[in-house]
Chain A
Amino acid sequence: MATRLKEVDVVIVGLGWTGGILAKELSEAGMRVVALERGVMRTTNPDFSIPLVRDELKYVVRNALMQNTARETLTFRNRQSDTALPMRQLGSFLPGEGVGGAGVHWNGVTWRWTGIDHTLRSHYEQRYGRAFIPADMPVHDWPVTYKELEPYYDRFERTAGVSGKAGNLRGVTQEGGNVFEAPRDRDYPLPPLEPSYSQLIFAEAAAASGYHPFSRPVANASRAYTNPDGSRLGACVYCGHCERFGCEANAKGSPHITVIPKAMAQPTFELRTHSWVTKVLLDSSKKKAVGVLYTDVATGQEYEQPASIVALCAYAINNVHLMLLSGIGTPYDPSTQKGVVGANYCYQPGGAEQGIRMFFEDKIFNPFMASGAFGVALDDFHASEQFDRGPVGGIGGATIIVGQSNGRPIQTRPVPAGTPRWGAEWKKATAKWYLRSMAINVTTSNMPNRYNYYDLDPTYRNVFGQPLMRLSYNFLDNDRKVFGYISQKALAIAQAMKPTSMNGPGALGDYSIVPYQSTHNTGGATMGATPRDSALNRYLQSWDVSNVFVVGANAFPHNSAYNPTGPVGALAYWVADAIKGRYRARPGLLT
């Protein structure tokens, strides 16, 4: 029997970036907020202090900051005719667990999604005709415009301490920035980091080919910085232990050093760790949430936390899972294409597996001298409207990237194709090429497809006996066209750099859930203009249960060639403002 607790104004499920932003904003506005986090508390000191944090075995091989698949995972299949099987080890993507969530272990790439991403369907229909979008691609426009979100992007960039250089200030193109970005009101709070040698020679080759290289925007502080809330960030020391680690120098914009401590300073805020929410509780009408049910995983005790507002702020996959488990919104059915919850799952083709790995006899790159996110990017094949998709025959684009996120000794062993996989020859090759190798990645957008979706698994269950999420997903024809076209452009730049040899680019075969690619899982509970094609309205409110807000990358109708955290953070501020302002005064569906 669950113990019923005292009602609060807001219960937040999951305390990462989105939960942290809501927790701070709403508790500062005087609302009584409880955050339920299934993982543990974490702070930079002592959890991420050196030398202990630089432990590749613990954090990378054994995934210390990630969800434990023995308690909860998902099942996976490439196609309808397959039987989905549980993912028993993490691989392709890494949902975080614990206070700070994925905001602790991310690399920090912080794009603003731009022009076309907000108006994808209308853009393609207008420019290429209605028939250009296949019938099995249920893409729709965002219900929020870039212009509306611009100040919220700015807020997130300033909170997270983003280093970058503007490419378009109020419509005026800026030399050295991303000339294809949408207009911004002001520059980034911090200048770009120092580029690596690999980035410099790539930028030179790309510029010589007529492209527009720039330093991509990153939440790795290029110098010490105090954000507008008074949170202090240190300067990045290029230690190369960023993604999958917490930052020892507080240089990576993360919720556990910014918004979460600010929320915790509020008397109206309470954090409960080890608190695993199993269900959102609805009243008999099924139109209103009355709170959540959760289990203290340290004691096994079950609690009911009543609340006027339920904010789902867990990892995107888990947000959708909770909606399906709780009966919020109509589950998506691919056979009829009716229902919305679970639809529009997208990923991001073009991980390291498909990238171009180059080897130079005469160059030393020092790969261990690295920041998680710093990199040189080309947006000529994504945000650029000059890039004609007609000859590609596909929708979307790709960013071409040279980063240098790490040279961790256990897993960073690049060797030319044809090298034996073990033995003396392999040892010789890995010693020779470790310092002399760099990579170009082609990060490709991903359009939704009728058969790429989530539902509840009919067989497998989590530690609480609840059905696991089932993911049905594959790379499709559109992905192969777009990735294929742009990876050839990247290959031409690579060839111009005259490496001794190179591997790749790889081909897009079936999607494999085994090798790491990116933690950029989007969709499943999308925002849209009507309840017919989306689960959430423009304030990320469930169309069906209006006091449930579902905040995260689950809301994106498609996935961009950009990383997702920029708009995830911006949308969290946008939602917080809507709740503090209009919703609080007058609950119900906001318009």
Chain B
Amino acid sequence: MNRSRGLLAVLAIAVIRFAVTSAKAGVDPDKGKAVFEQCAACHSLGEAGDYDGPTLKSIFGRKAGSLEDYRYSAAMKRSAVTWDAMTLDQYVTDPQAFIPGNRMAFAGITDKAERDDLIAYLAIATK
């Protein structure tokens, strides 16, 4: 009970924050490209290749844990998340809080502006 309530609170805050900041100007995909270097150790934007994480190609609109040629954690597969700007923001903020038990070895990005830039970059680069 506590955990799901906690999660709801996190979600609610994230939704509010997202609504507030996405209206702001100054989101910069070029800066997001630099932020993406943290992700690039494990994630390709193109072909799957020899990366430890799944490719991010066409991630917007994709159901989490749905690529057939990638071995996901059970937590990711049953997460019922569909990736969009909001869910990516929540995930990248604190991956283990958003999808507990997932396998991504990443602590998260606490800076909202950095996340906004990153997601703006991903919106372009994953097409």
B103 with A49: CB separation less than 8 A: yes
B106 with A234: CB separation less than 8 A: yes
Question: Which residues of chain A are within 8 angstroms of B105 by Cβ–Cβ distance?
Answer: 49-50, 234, 237, 239, 247-250
Q: How far is the CA of A45 from the CA of B42 in the complex (A)?
A: 10
Mask, A220-248, CB within 8 Å of B = 1, is 00011110000011110111000000011
How many A residues, CB 8 Å from partner?
22
* Least CB distance, B102 to chain A, in whole angstroms: 8
Question: Which residues of chain B are within 8 angstroms of A46 by Cβ–Cβ distance?
Answer: 71
A249 with B106: CB separation less than 8 A: yes
* Least CB distance, B4 to chain A, in whole angstroms: 20
23-62 of chain B: CB within 8 A of chain A: 37-42, 50-53
Q: How far is the CA of A512 from the CA of B41 in the complex (A)?
A: 42
* Least CB distance, B29 to chain A, in whole angstroms: 18
B42 with A250: CB separation less than 8 A: yes
Mask, A387-426, CB within 8 Å of B = 1, is 0000000000000000000000000000000000000000
Q: A50-B105, A51-B101 are in contact. Are A261 and B38 (CB under 8 A)?
A: no
Say yes or no: is B107 at the interface (Cβ < 8 Å to chain A): yes
Most chain A beta carbons < 10 A, residue from B53, B73, B103: B103
* Least CB distance, A236 to chain B, in whole angstroms: 9
Q: How far is the CA of A185 from the CA of B123 in the complex (A)?
A: 42
A232 with B106: CB separation less than 8 A: no
Say yes or no: is A330 at the interface (Cβ < 8 Å to chain B): no
Question: Which residues of chain A are within 8 angstroms of B71 by Cβ–Cβ distance?
Answer: 45-46
Say yes or no: is A44 at the interface (Cβ < 8 Å to chain B): yes
**Contact partner, A232, options B40, B101, B103, B107, Cβ 8 Å:** B40
Question: Which residues of chain B are within 8 angstroms of A249 by Cβ–Cβ distance?
Answer: 41, 105-106
* Least CB distance, B70 to chain A, in whole angstroms: 9
A224 with B107: CB separation less than 8 A: no
Question: Which residues of chain A are within 8 angstroms of B106 by Cβ–Cβ distance?
Answer: 234, 237, 249
* Least CB distance, B73 to chain A, in whole angstroms: 8
Q: How far is the CA of A358 from the CA of B39 in the complex (A)?
A: 38
Question: Which residues of chain B are within 8 angstroms of A234 by Cβ–Cβ distance?
Answer: 38, 41-42, 105-106
Q: A45-B52, A50-B105, A249-B105 are in contact. Are A235 and B38 (CB under 8 A)?
A: yes
Q: How far is the CA of A295 from the CA of B53 in the complex (A)?
A: 36
70-127 of chain B: CB within 8 A of chain A: 71, 73, 101, 103-107
B38 with A232: CB separation less than 8 A: no
* Least CB distance, A255 to chain B, in whole angstroms: 15
Please give me the residue from chain A that is nearest to B101 by CB atom: A51
Mask, A48-88, CB within 8 Å of B = 1, is 01110000000000000000000000000000000000000
Q: How far is the CA of A261 from the CA of B104 in the complex (A)?
A: 21
* Least CB distance, B92 to chain A, in whole angstroms: 14
A250 with B38: CB separation less than 8 A: no
Please give me the residue from chain A that is nearest to B50 by CB atom: A261
Binding site for B on A (CB under 8 A): 44-46, 49-51, 223-226, 232-235, 237-239, 247-250, 261
In addition to A50-B104, A226-B41, A232-B42, 17 A-B residue pairs with Cβ atoms within 8 Å of each other are A44-B52, A45-B71, A50-B103, A50-B105, A51-B101, A51-B103, A224-B38, A225-B41, A232-B40, A232-B51, A234-B38, A234-B105, A235-B38, A235-B41, A248-B105, A249-B106, A250-B42
6 tightest CB-CB pairs across the interface, nearest first? A249-B105, A234-B41, A248-B105, A232-B41, A45-B52, A237-B107
The 8 sampled A-B contact pairs (Cβ below 8 Å) are A44-B52, A45-B103, A49-B52, A50-B103, A224-B37, A226-B40, A237-B107, A250-B41
Binding site for A on B (CB under 8 A): 37-42, 50-53, 71, 73, 101, 103-107
